[in-house]
Structure 1
Amino acid sequence: MPDLNLYWGELHNHNELGYAQGSLERSYEIARSHLDFYAFTPHGLHADGGVPDGYPVVVANWERIRRAASENNRPGEFTCFPAYEWHSSAWGHLHVLSAEDMESMYCARSLADLQDHFRNRQAILVPHHTAYERGVDWEGFDEALSPVVEIFSEHGSSERDSGLYPMLGHSGGPAGYQYTVQHGLALGKRFGLVAGTDNHDGYPGGYGLGLTGIWAKENSRAALFDALQKRRTTAVTGDRIEVCFRAGEAWMGEVVSGPAERRLDYRVEGWDVIKSVEVVRDNLPVHIEVPDYSAPRTGQPQPYRLRFEWGWGPMKGYQVYDWQGQLRVAGGRLLQIVPCFSSDPFDEVRRKRVLEWDERQCAWQSHTSRGSVFTTRNGSTAPRANDALCVEVEGTQETRIELEFDCRTSKSLLATATDWSLTGKLGGSRASFSIGELLQGRRGWRVDGLPTWIVAHRALPEVLYALQGHFIDRSETPAYYYLRVTQENGQLAWSSPIWFEE
């Protein structure tokens, strides 16, 4: 896409300033370490519940919250949006994102009141986890104030009443189809799609809980907010699947008027084998593309994508494992790295982060625990005992990947005899694989000295993780189209729709 860049970030996340955990400072530090933009959305109030004037912890700390968004905002490097969450039983939950400094939190008593207050301001209202009972008020929906809707979070997917990640395993009661994103689109509402973790561990961008991609001219409040208003967005469940979806000169999120040819062009780049790319028209798939598995492999240098994962642990094991990892490339070069770090297990002090990287090597640290699957505060969509790192390498089948892992234990989430017997133990692993060997399939092994494991997943040539194509629709009736991308590992992406009108 000319003159535009794809930025990844978090628009819906909680910490201890609200009814979650983790400090405000920790949230911003984690967000800066792996995201392009961030909106901390404290639980502000419950309009028709017991706290219409604001949760005391948020009201008391509002100046601190406001100042953190301002001081951490670094144009061109890391963008922060002032924000808060507005709860109601009658109209659903929304989070307010502002492109301006927010001096105070407006405690609206109704959806109409909230909309009237922000109508002439640089702010948008984002409905989220809509597929719960009364999760959204489509009748009162205002697309000028709500140009985007959150389709996925730790609660699951609100796209439809079937498919992967149904909203059946979290805190809200399952609802009928009337509250899904597809139903809102069928009613004629126009909105783009975003995803956010809604994570209550104070971990912005926790892997597998939702993330938003924004196509914008630069990484600044003004540019990102403009792109949100224009619905130029991609929603993903976890993997940062790059989705480009256009109709001629019209981008995802735009409305095409008149007798224009309905040629829809798309380009997708994922981090696992692309299982399918679907063009969805008026909520029904009308075109499906899959990779060409018969494409011949070449010995010439080309990009490959690889995933290295570590974690696991003994049955019901609550031991925390601290990891130091290093990857080196021989006979090739690193083009890109993407951390896939889980928000669990919660720890106020420990940090998961990439420490350094260049074309030849990268280093990182993280901590994992199988016990986090049983103790997580997150939803059932993606409880994880593992962390991972995705890398793109330019090389040949002879290019070698050298891996070093050091692991130690010093803490247990729960005091069990099995876990305490592991405390203070050290372990490690060294491994080397050619890309050709990893093209044959994944390799897994246990860490020396500890009951935890490492997996080098199957290497992917570009023909399996990238797809480009088009669909021509001969229909002339008004319709909307969006892209749904599914990877073999279950990770999903959605583009915002494109509308055609007479």
Structure 2
Amino acid sequence: MMTTILKEFKSTLEKKPYQRNWFSEHVFLIGDIHNHCNISYGHGSLKKAIKFANEQLDFFSVTGHFAWPDMEENKKNLSIPIDVINYHKKGFIKLSNHWEKYIQILKENNNDNCIAFPSIEFHSFDFGDYTIVSKKLNFTFQPLKQKHDSRLESLLNGDFDKNNILIFPHHIGYKQGYRGINWNTYNSSHSPVVEVLSMHGSSESEDSQIKYLHTMGPLNGKNTFLWAFMHDYRFGIIANTDHHNASPGSYKNGRTGIWAQSKTRDNIFNALYKKYTAAISGDPIEAMMFVNNYCIGEEIQDVLGNRQVDGYVVACDSLDKVELLQSGNIIETFKANTDSTPPSDIGRISFTFGWGEKDVKCDWNVNIQILNGTIQKVNTRFKGQDIVDPLDKSEDVNFIIPSLKQLNNKEVELSFSTTGNPTATTSSVQGISAEYQTNDNSKVILNISAIIDGEKINREYKYLVKDLKYNHTEYINGFVSPAIEISRFKNKNEYCLEFHKQIIGEKNDWYYMRVFQKNGDILYLTPIWEK
């Protein structure tokens, strides 16, 4: 399989045979290996979670809340509300009682298109929270049917089989002692990757655009991954949703990007251990960087001196900027070169559905086809209903699980449910981003079949692609009814970017790239370090 980067930057990579061969030997995959459903405390069934994952991920896990050894030890005189203690205890017991069924359902639903991994979560005031993922579906690390489970400390000390188990800390940004990471007990040789972005927020730095707004509190500066890199910690970075409503890969909540040799269980695990990883908020932005032909996650073995940095980005929407950092300092900002790069007949159109009155449900069946053009790629932007406090109740029990079916190279069908956005700053819309090859006669046709409070609505909308020079909106049943946004046609030169720069490398330097789309999606790429 040819990666998008290899296809888009073919002429450049012909002159860089090592990098060309590297891309030809790897595929870019998207996953979510830390999220929850009602197998412990959480909402939505495991089978719903599996169906949700299969619509937009290459690999996934659904995580069981497992244990919280120091929950009631109260070493720091922490006052924990009794209802918080109770729902955690009930969740741990629930997982323990249904452990065999959990494993059985994962086995029954595993497939080569979307590979399933079992996982569990330990909470800890002392160490911070950790996710434990099993490569094998036969996960023998079963819950203990007793009050205290001290196995997390053994895991952090490396007492596990690295060929079959991956452990990593998550929501690291909370203050140490309040379930944020404890850098004193973190060991990158045992935990090669760290979850740095999820529905909790981004823990890149205090200046991160995606803020910590969860009930557990704000971001603490010493608990950011840029702080850790500045203090010579070395690890790969990943993102997962940590969603609590059976929605692995929920758009805008966090996804892991990996460069694996192929989409197999072994190679996915190998890529995570090699730190060939990226933390992505939503759209599956494909990105890679080399320094003197060393790729992300690697240490440069060359003597200090001149460094050739090569970066490649294929995004899913217009790029805002790409930043190159050297040891925490921005040394250059790159923009998509739309002025000097000639327009292509290939570009993207985003289709977004939702809005309307709060709490009014709309079931959508949508057919989108292009005449005088062809589909190159379709990326989903499916969201699950956000649950911030686990004690909240899910309201999407009767919602359609979002699905996409590509019928041919001209036509896709979508089905999903929406309600009006719960607040003016909280999105509950659904959508896709489609890349098309077009010409002057290309036309996009949307056929909508929707049900709003039992009333069936049928609509058809047609647009010449050459007329999509700005966003178009449609209301399917009048004022404050559910609505549609069709984006302008965004030419390929707006979302593809490469850069090549020479710099001087110094002792303990590290090189880091981050990508910002104009729609707010971001990507953090694992650094490359000097030896």
Secondary structure of 1:39 counterpart: strand
Does 2:349 match 1:327?
Answer: no
Partner residue of 2:235?
A: 191
1:44 aligned residue: 66
Contact 1:263–1:470, Cα closer than 8 Å, also in 2? yes
What does 1:111-150 align with in structure 2 at a 5 Å threshold?
A: 111-116=152-157, 118-121=159-162, 122-134=164-176, 135-150=180-195
Q: Is the 8 A contact 1:428 1:449 kept in 2?
A: no
**Is 1:128–1:150's contact at 8 Å kept on the other side of the alignment?**
yes
| Structure 2 runs not aligned, ≥5 long | 1-22, 73-87, 386-394
Q: Does 1:266 pair with 2:311?
A: yes
Inter-partner Cα distance in structure 2 for 1:489 and 1:200: 25
In 2, Cα distance between equivalents of 1:77 and 1:174: 38
In 2, Cα distance between equivalents of 1:348 and 1:187? 49
1:448 to 463, 477, 492: 477
For residues 196-218 of structure 1, the C-alpha deviation after alignment (integer angstroms, 9 at most, x for no partner) is 11001111111110111111111
State the secondary structure of the residue aligned to 2:103.
helix
Percent of residue pairs identical: 25
Distance 1:312 1:232, change over 3 A: same
Distance 1:340 1:225 in 2: 26
- Partner secondary structure for residue 41 of structure 1: strand
Question: Is 1:23 aligned with 2:64?
Answer: no
> Which of 101, 104, 115 lines up with 1:64 in the alignment?
101
- The alpha-carbon deviation at position 387 of structure 1 amounts to 0.6
Any gaps of 5 or more consecutive residues in structure 1?
375-379, 410-422
Residue of 239, 253, 272 corresponding to 1:228: 272
- In the alignment, the residues of structure 2 paired with residue 87 and residue 4 of structure 1 have an alpha-carbon distance, to the nearest angstrom, of 35
Distance change (3 Å), C-alpha of 1:53 and 1:435: closer
Q: How far has the Cα of 1:436 moved from its partner?
A: 1.5
Cα offset for 1:297?
Answer: 5.0
AA in 2 matched with 1:480: W
CA distance in 2 between counterparts of 1:383 and 1:69 reads: 32
> Aligned to 1:40, what secondary structure does the other structure show?
strand
1:296, distance to aligned residue in structure 2 (A): 6.4
SS in 1 for 2:262: coil
* 1:364 equivalent in alignment to 2:414: yes
Alignment match, 2:439 = 396
Q: Distance in 2 between matches of 1:293 and 1:226?
A: 37
Report the alpha carbon displacement of residue 111 of structure 1 after superposing the two structures with TM.
4.6
Structure 1 counterpart of 2:222, one-letter code: Q
Task: Provide the residue aligned with 1:157 in structure 2.
Answer: 202
Q: Following the alignment from structure 2 to structure 1, what is the Cα–Cα distance between the partners of residues 398 and 301?
A: 52
For residues 68-119 of structure 1, the C-alpha deviation after alignment (integer angstroms, 9 at most, x for no partner) is 3333333x42211121011011111110012132123366527532224643
Shift of the 39–292 alpha-carbon distance from structure 1 to 2, 3 Å rule, reads: same
Alignment-derived partner of residue 407 in structure 1: 450
Q: Does 1:105 align with 2:142?
A: yes
Secondary structure of the residue that 2:321 maps to in structure 1? strand
From 246, 260, 282, the counterpart of 2:290: 246
* Shift in alpha-carbon separation, 1:348–1:228, aligned structure 2, 3 A: farther
User: 1:395 Cα deviation (Å)?
Assistant: 1.6
Q: Which residue pairs with 1:32 in the alignment? A: 54
2:464 pairs with 1:434: yes
Q: Which moved more, 1:244-253 or 1:148-157?
A: 244-253
Q: Secondary structure at the match of 1:336?
A: strand
Distance (Å, rounded) in 1 between the aligned partners of 2:141 and 2:220: 36
> SS at the partner of 1:20?
coil
Out of 380, 393, 403, the position equivalent to 1:353 is 403
- The alignment of Structure 1 onto Structure 2 pairs a total of residues equal to 474
Q: Which residue of 2 aligns with 1:176?
A: 220
- CA change 1:279–1:397 in 2 (3 A) is farther
Whether the 8 Å contact between 1:342 and 1:384 is mirrored in structure 2 is: no
- Alpha carbon RMSD of aligned pairs, Å? 2.1
Query: 1:285 and 2:330 equivalent?
Result: yes
Query: In structure 1, what is the equivalent of residue 354 of structure 2?
Result: 311
What is the SS of the residue equivalent to 1:174? coil
Residue type of the alignment partner of 2:403: R
- Residue 495 of structure 1 deviates from its aligned partner by 0.8
CA distance in 2, matches of 1:214, 1:118: 26
Q: Which of 483, 486, 490 is residue 516 of structure 2 equivalent to?
A: 486
Check the 8 A contact 2:156/2:185 in 1, yes or no.
no
After superposition, give the CA deviation of every residue in 1:398-431 in whole Å (9 maximum; x if it has no partner). Answer: 321111111112xxxxxxxxxxxxx222223211
Contact 1:427–1:449, Cα closer than 8 Å, also in 2: no
CA contact (8 A) 2:41 2:91 kept: no
1:205 maps to which residue? 249
- Following superposition, the deviation at residue 448 of structure 1 comes to 3.5
- Give 3-state SS (helix, strand or coil) of 1:327's partner: strand
Cα offset for 1:132?
0.8
In 1, are the aligned partners of 2:171 and 2:195 still within 8 Å (CA)?
A: yes
Contact 1:32 1:78 in 2 (8 A): yes
Deviations 1:347-402 (A, max 9, x none): 3562110133321111110110015x25xxxxx9x832211111010122432111
Q: 1:339 matched to which residue of 2?
A: 380
User: Relative to structure 2, which stretch is displaced further, 26-35 or 49-58?
Assistant: 49-58
The normalised TM-score by structure 2 is: 0.85
Whether contact under 8 Å (1:132, 1:174) holds in the other structure is yes
